[in-house]
Amino acid sequence: MKTIIKSIALGLFLLLMSVQSNAKTLQAMLSYATFWSPANNSYLETYLAVSGNSIACVKNASNKYQGTIEVTMIFKQNDVVKDFKKFNLLSPEIEDTLNSDFNFIDQQRFALPSGIYDFEITIADLNQKGSKFSTVEKVNISFSESKIVLSGTQLVESVKPTTDVTILSKSGYDLVPYVFDFYPENIKKLTFYAEIYNAQKVLGDKEAFLVSAFIESFETGKALSNFLTNKREAAKLVNPVLMNFDISKLPSGNYNLVIEVRDKKNQLLETNKTFFQRSNPSVQFEISDLSSVAVENTFVAKYSNIDTLRDYVKSLSPIATESERGFIRSYVKSSDITTLQQFFLSFWLNRSATEPMKLWFEYNTQVESCDRMFGMKVKKGYETDRGRVYLQYGPPNSIDESKSEPWAYPYQIWQYYTLKNQSNKKFVFYNTNFAGNDYELLHSDALGEVYNSQWQLMLHSKMEPTNNPDQRDVTPHWGSKSSDYWNNRK
């Protein structure tokens, strides 16, 4: 099994970029995945999608409307540029600027040896002033020569057999990337591609092994029994994996797409997880599913006060799946005590079939601590943003706090060294009311959390007299520590 850092490095990374200009908000999504080939060794692919609604289109030589996005991608090691590309990405031509409801994509490849890189990407709409956006992320490329390794996972929008080899071509197929980690209700299929390396070397030529793919809950790590597929493979130099799931019945929520490689003895050799979100309002939590849950002679049977039980159930929301949150939102006030007991017991049995009571007691201790730290007269601790993060992920490794910067609202920046197979993730909370203890989550770089590229602008907006982002300037404010706190990677 891979280390935490490695599993993230070889997985799919997604970054939402959004920047406000005078006219529109430029919106783009970037993902990347790492691969290896016998001819080119390791390489990294980038997938960039830009929203047509967020760009300015002007008439071109063909008398049609078209947008132009300038993209710069730079890979550095110790401030030394190892590879870069700068290019203009053109949108499709349209007859009318009202018909811009589309996404246009770009795919690039970079041949990069194993190592850790600073990946800097800058995008700008050349037809809009003030639309430039830049960010830097760490990229870890690491392929072992002696162990079975999985590539990154590429989410795929469409597949067709290759006729002419292009940058979209892999293993005899042209794969149009699905850049987003969000699947709306109208998308019924999740298609993905990955590659397995060194199976021939480790197991022997044409030796049989098993590839499994399944969907698991991001919150609980529990595999969903209806979303599992297995495939027997014969070991080769490179074994491609192209699979799909029908997600028409997958409830709304946060999930991991998991790929596993096992030998004939069912020993796990390699695994890779890719985060995604699903919105599927038509699939709702069914109360009838609780009818078979027997609470007699369990620890839940003693909870006979309905008000206490309702509070216990509501306190589960920070660690619940989206489907479970749907029950809490819709039924906790109207359900009778038996239904609440059944839901409560089912919740903990889904997390531990052997020790549900132990898990509840441990969690409730954290709920009580959370209430002491973040609770208010009008709001329980678990109902606050800080309380939710604390209960969902545990206490942070460090907290940087500022209550009296002259140009900023009171704020805290929490840092987690490791977080659900992610490394070095942060949360920014701020208090726009100044008084009290209610801090709102403004920004985080953790999967499934609120990502706000303009968090510093909003954090320092209390003294800003203008609503024009082009006239705002955060960096020169005297006494500002937010950049130092955010960039201080302990």
Q: Confidence class of residue 19 from pLDDT cuts 50, 70 and 90?
A: low
| pLDDT above 90 (res 202) | yes
Closest CA to 482 of 461, 451, 467, 465: 461
Average pLDDT, integer, range 168-182: 94
Q: What is the pLDDT of residue 371?
A: 95
Query: Could you give all domains of the chain from N- to C-terminal order, each with its CATH number?
Result: 1-143 (2.60.40.10), 182-283 (2.60.40.2550), 287-389 (no CATH), 396-487 (no CATH)
Mean local confidence (pLDDT), 39-55: 90
238-246/68-77 β-pairing: unpaired
More confident residue, 16 or 460: 460
pLDDT at 462 over 70: no
Confidence class for position 467, pLDDT limits 50, 70, 90: very low
Evaluate the CA torsion angle 187, 249, 222, 262 in order and state its sign. Answer: negative
pLDDT of residue 2: 27
Q: Over the stretch 391-449, which tens digit does the pLDDT of each residue have? A: 999 999 999 999 888 788 999 999 999 988 788 899 999 999 877 789 999 999 898 89
Q: What is the pLDDT of residue 435?
A: 72
In this model, does residue 144 exceed pLDDT 90? no
Q: What is the pTM of this model?
A: 0.83
pLDDT band per the 50, 70, 90 thresholds, residue 451: confident
* Position 8 pLDDT exceeds 50: no
The residue type found at 471 is Q
What mean pLDDT is reported for the chain? 88
pLDDT band per the 50, 70, 90 thresholds, residue 172: very high
